Chains A and B, each alone.
Chain A
Amino acid sequence: MKIVLQNLTKVFPSRNKKSNEEVVAVSDLTFTIPDGKLVGLLGPSGCGKSTTLYMISGLQKPTGGQIFFGEDDVTSLSPENRGVGLVFQNYALYPHMTVKQNILFPLQNLKGADKLDKNTMLERALEAARLVQIDELMDRKPSELSGGQQQRVAIARALVKMPRVLLLDEPLSNLDARLRLQTREEIRRIQRETGITTIFVTHDQEEAMSISDVIVVMKLGVVQQIGKPQTVYDNPVNLFVAKFLGTPPINVFKANVKGGKLYISGEAVLDVPGVCDRDVFAAIRPEGFVPDDNGAMTCSLSSIEVMGRDVSIVSKNEAMLTPTIRSIVDADYKVSASAQSVKFNLKPHKVFIFDSETEERIYFGNQTAPETGI
């Protein structure tokens, strides 16, 4: 099922009666989610990603704009008539019911022509349980399950009625680090097997990058960039997106462009053909540094962290805007820990420059703006 959001807007009235400040949670959101894709809504807390999800589910009514499932306008449809499955952040499993009863619950609500007989219901429930691999826990109560198992039950309950769209609100936030890795692969697998268009919300960029077909990066209710995770990472449209994606985070410097060259703390570090003279922010991915004794950029060395495959060089530079400069280089490079300074050359495709006022991307050389379609 293709999902189209058109000029979707949500404004919350102010809580304080005296001030008339309204909160714009989602502003003029327009994008299309292709059929059968796994889409991650990504952004810091308060960016409107959960509100968007709840508007798609129908639990919240948009202030403006429209939502289409395929060709149907579902904007004014109540949640029960939309045919969505929703997995809540804390799962919202009914505590007094067993796993089986929880999964059966949506099926028992079906009316009229959709009504199923008992055996079909049980079969469907068992099928859903098998898909998420909890078919051995059917007679347990939610309180007797681990976090990961509860999560699976919640997914099974959402899937059992064969929804047109599956929505997941921060699906991994209540799990520990190891289980998170495992579960996100699981979500990917379940989505592939069922082929249901799935939207999930997360503030964890790694999570979104690792399993999504498409990510939507949001900030303060406004979409910043939509695209394949790798595209968005390789080609951010503004400083916010560049900073939000990537671990370790991108290194940002105050810089300026003069005569087609990028200057960071007085050193010409990179040719930036086609950019006129101006003040900019330069952002360099950790993997964009190449240690070189004759390198163009000089930084004072703080520490070296060896992590087996890679070496992480932590250094400082007076123009940096991040607390430290973290560069990741191949372990083959031998850098002396006792050295005072370290010199780098920069990989041009790992360096992004942004207007110092609008923070919008300035493309140079053979860099081009990313395609906007999905």
Chain B
Amino acid sequence: MKNFLQKIKFDQWKAWIYLSPAIVLLLIFTVWPIFNTLRMAFWNGYGLFKELGGELQFEFGIKNFKWVVGYGGFLDCLKNTMLLTVLTVPLSTILALVIAVSLNAIKPFQRFLQTIFFLPYVTNSIAIGMVFEAMFNIVGFGTSNPSYGIINNILGVFGVDPINWINAGSGYWANIAVLVIYIVWNALPFKILILLGGLQSVNKQYYDAAKIDSTPRLRVFTKITVPLLSPMIAYVVITGFIGGFKEYSSIVGIFGDDMHAVGGESLNTMVGYIYKQLGENHEGDASAAALILFAIIFVVTMINMYVSKKKTHY
């Protein structure tokens, strides 16, 4: 019996030793920052400058939260973030579903097209942003001889007058439209990959059975494909919402650090706001904003999980 206990202890020590590198790294880079964020968020007016200035005593309280919510810029950021998320997640999910089903249905070039659809995933998002900027840009805007980007040229073929997408004086909704296109395109590959994987693991006999029962194509899609894919769709939607709330780099990619078109409305998001507060040494406010963002993501994910549990069938 004693031997047995000793053995267990030794085995446990071995396990702890094996786990220690991961645990140490997690403690330093995940647990401590989370703890520190909590601490900073509830220290009224916490900021590095103040600390360096010798004012080391901070009161505990929710002043940071009050200040963040009360500040007008934050609500704009919240609005932008919500808007982008609500627009892009359904759009990219439906598009990804259609593309995945079509990809799954064709035999020739399947691999080739899969690679093409996967390219955005391995491309830097800032680089993609710059390309998108070039596509929507108008070079020499306001001069007598402007040179339009490819999007306006294509629209021109259909007789549409050039639209000011992102240049000085461009409208808020034009900016949002560009961002939605960019974010959807950027989000597609991951979703297509997940859904295509799901489709390929669906037993072909369900489709044979549907064929024997002369099921129309649309009904096969809505009554068989979508329900059988529902766990993957739920996963894609949940991660999509989380990603959407963390949207930041796409705006920087197209509009630069200012996060708005010249003379246009701010396109800043929650994460953008947090970075900005950090840049201005308002760590307390940044932490409070981060916690608010966390709370929003948490609530939305819970709702998502609750709905998907009801809607995914098996």
Among A15-72, those with CB < 8 Å from B are 57-59
Among B294-314, those with CB < 8 Å from A are 313-314
A176 in the interface, Cβ–Cβ < 8 Å?
A: no
B16 in the interface, Cβ–Cβ < 8 Å?
A: no
Among A91-146, those with CB < 8 Å from B are 92, 94-97, 105-106, 108-111, 141, 143
B228 touches A96 (CB 8 A): yes
Assess A85 versus B314: contact at CB under 8 Å? Given A92-B203, A96-B228. no
Smallest CB–CB gap between B292 and chain A, Å?
38
Choose the segment among B105-113, B191-199, B212-220 that binds chain A (4+ C-beta atoms closer than 8 Å): B212-220
CA distance A145 to B206 in the complex (A): 18
CA distance A208 to B211 in the complex (A): 28
B228 touches A59 (CB 8 A): no
B314 touches A143 (CB 8 A): yes
| A residues less than 8 Å from B213 (CB atoms) | 80, 105-106, 109, 157, 161
A57 touches B212 (CB 8 A): yes
| B residues less than 8 Å from A79 (CB atoms) | 208, 211-212, 214
B230 in the interface, Cβ–Cβ < 8 Å?
A: yes
B57 in the interface, Cβ–Cβ < 8 Å?
A: no
A109 touches B209 (CB 8 A): no
CA distance A16 to B205 in the complex (A): 25
A88 in the interface, Cβ–Cβ < 8 Å?
A: yes
CA distance A92 to B314 in the complex (A): 15
| A residues less than 8 Å from B215 (CB atoms) | 80, 105, 109
B120 in the interface, Cβ–Cβ < 8 Å?
A: no
CA distance A108 to B216 in the complex (A): 10
CA distance A85 to B227 in the complex (A): 24
| A95 interface neighbour in B208, B216, B313, Cβ under 8 Å | B313
| A residues less than 8 Å from B139 (CB atoms) | none
Smallest CB–CB gap between A357 and chain B, Å?
43
| B314 interface neighbour in A78, A80, A84, A95, Cβ under 8 Å | A95
CA distance A94 to B230 in the complex (A): 13
Task: For A78, give the chain B residue with the smallest CB separation.
Answer: B211
Assess A94 versus B214: contact at CB under 8 Å? Given A88-B205, A88-B209. no
A340 in the interface, Cβ–Cβ < 8 Å?
A: no
A109 touches B313 (CB 8 A): no
Assess A94 versus B206: contact at CB under 8 Å? Given A141-B314, A143-B314. yes
CA distance A90 to B206 in the complex (A): 10
Which interface class (under 10, 10 to 19, 20 to 34, 35 or more) fits B? 10 to 19
A313 in the interface, Cβ–Cβ < 8 Å?
A: no
| A residues less than 8 Å from B227 (CB atoms) | 94, 96-97
| A59 interface neighbour in B206, B212, B214, B223, Cβ under 8 Å | B212
B212 touches A84 (CB 8 A): yes
Task: For A143, give the chain B residue with the smallest CB separation.
Answer: B314
| A residues less than 8 Å from B230 (CB atoms) | 96
B224 in the interface, Cβ–Cβ < 8 Å?
A: yes
CA distance A59 to B219 in the complex (A): 19
A92 touches B214 (CB 8 A): no
Assess A88 versus B228: contact at CB under 8 Å? Given A96-B313, A109-B213, A143-B314. no
A338 in the interface, Cβ–Cβ < 8 Å?
A: no
Task: For A95, give the chain B residue with the smallest CB separation.
Answer: B314
| B residues less than 8 Å from A90 (CB atoms) | 203, 205
CA distance A162 to B164 in the complex (A): 63
A301 in the interface, Cβ–Cβ < 8 Å?
A: no
Q: List 30 A-B contacts (CB under 8 A).
A: A57-B212, A58-B212, A59-B212, A79-B208, A79-B211, A79-B212, A80-B211, A81-B214, A85-B212, A86-B208, A86-B209, A88-B205, A88-B208, A90-B203, A92-B205, A92-B206, A92-B208, A94-B209, A94-B223, A96-B227, A96-B228, A97-B227, A97-B313, A105-B213, A105-B223, A108-B219, A109-B215, A109-B219, A111-B216, A141-B313
**Interface on A for B, CB 8 Å cutoff?**
57-59, 78-81, 84-86, 88, 90, 92, 94-97, 105-106, 108-111, 141, 143, 157, 161
Can you name 17 extra interface pairs (CB under 8 A) apart from A85-B212, A97-B313, A109-B219? A59-B212, A78-B211, A79-B208, A79-B212, A80-B211, A84-B212, A88-B205, A88-B209, A92-B206, A92-B208, A95-B314, A106-B214, A109-B213, A109-B214, A109-B216, A157-B213, A161-B213
Q: Top 5 A-B pairs ranked by shortest CB distance?
A: A80-B214, A96-B313, A106-B213, A92-B205, A96-B227
